[in-house]
Amino acid sequence: MTAALTGLAAALPASWPASLAPDRLEVIDVPTPYLVTDLDAVARRLDRFTAALPGVRAFYAMKCNPAPEILHTLRAGGASFEVASLGELRVLERLGADPAEVLYSNPVKPPAHIAAAYAAGLWRFSFDSPNELHKIAGHAPGSAVYLRLHVDDSASSFPLSRKFGAEPHEARELFTLARRLGLRPYGLTFHVGSQCATTAAWRRAIGLAGRVLAGLLDDGVRLEMLDLGGGFPARYTAGVPPIEDIGTTVRAAIAELLPYRPGLIAAEPGRHLVAEAAVLAAGVIGREVRAGQNWLFLDVGAYQGLMETIQLPSGWDFPVRSSVPGHGLVPELTFTVTGPSCDSSDTMFHGLALPATIDVGDVLYLGSAGAYTLSYASAFNGFPPPAPLFVGRSGGT
């Protein structure tokens, strides 16, 4: 990869990095599929997040994309990290990160992972039940614990409340148990759901957390952290609240709805920091007509990184461009776009408008592809995941 990947292609979404415009990516002499990430774009996203949320410390949710190049970039920009497993912590350790600076926010953890993380120096663990407190007390004695609250996540693409979160009225009893077990009541956290579409969700959640904080004061419990969790959105094809608007809402809610300001206000951005910084290139391997519909077969599908396209009934709309000259200006047809596997559910897009002449050997470029692509990818049916490529401050091939 060279510095030739610069400039701006016409008619690209504002969320698409100029350095990754399709006409620039054509110089890449690497077989598809590949995922190319602009590390400078990642750094800019972190800077913008930090500016919009002053006084809020970013703990990158590495489940979203654990590429070492991205982790290095975010760490250099001042971010810390949030993990969901011991495996993720081990990746950070190999990069030189201090486990004492890491949050372990998965509310239900394997006992062996708790013990090993504690032995490595990690000291802050989330929980949402008495059972989890007993596990933490047994395998990480004396640790600091923060309670995951159940909040309204109905405005998100991927609600998480069915699986995790204690009810607010349970907080007093849970922290009482924590102290009885020799653990340190440390904080509250919540998650408004992945790809949250309204700033009001954060205000409601912070207001709920404020009521819990106030109630705990009656028991002499003053917590040290409020973790705003994740859910900060990225732009795909539909508009989302800009991070500046979210920041305005969050700052006002913290000032107005909390009985006191905990010493640490944390957040766990993931998708927001990396999605828009990457483009996935997928080669066309087949074009067919099935029952009067045009079908396009790609060398990457749901199982190689596009799992989110089949997780929602409404699908997942990536911004798409092609290598066909004059894309967006030439005649188009609608296509059903499917992956390379022999699984019929491996179908990512329905009614996607593409140049009528697109055929085998052409390339589709999917923007905003940096989140939950490689981290979901497998080699199902023997088709490999996209090759990771990087441009920018520490990238280049």
Which three-class secondary structure state does DSSP give residue 240? coil
- Architecture of the structural domain at 66-269: Alpha-Beta Barrel (3.20)
Q: What pLDDT is stored for residue 266 in this prediction? A: 98
Give residue-wise pLDDT tens across range 162-179. Answer: 789 999 999 999 999 999
Average pLDDT estimate for 182-197: 94
18-37+275-391: CATH topology is Lyase, Ornithine Decarboxylase; Chain A, domain 1 (2.40.37)
pLDDT > 60? residue 269: yes
Question: Torsion-angle region of residue 152: left (phi > 0), alpha (psi -120 to 50) or beta?
Answer: beta
Rounded Cα distance, 160 and 267, in Å: 16
Q: Which residue has the higher pLDDT, 7 or 225?
A: 225
pLDDT tens-digit series, residues 15-70: 899 999 999 998 899 999 999 999 999 999 999 999 999 999 999 999 999 999 99
Percentage of the chain with pLDDT > 90?
86
- Give the pLDDT of residue 384: 94
List residues with catalytic annotation: 342
Checking if the pLDDT of 159 tops 90, the result is: no
Mean pLDDT to the nearest integer, 112-122:
98
| Averaged pLDDT score across all residues of the chain | 93
- How much is the pLDDT for 396? 54
* Helix (H), strand (E) at residue 364: strand 363-366
Q: What span, in angstroms and rounded, lies between the C-alpha atoms of 115 and 129?
A: 18
pTM above 0.85?
Answer: yes
Q: How confident is the model at residue 2 (pLDDT cuts 50, 70, 90)?
A: very low
Domain map (residue ranges) of the chain = 18-37+275-391, 66-269
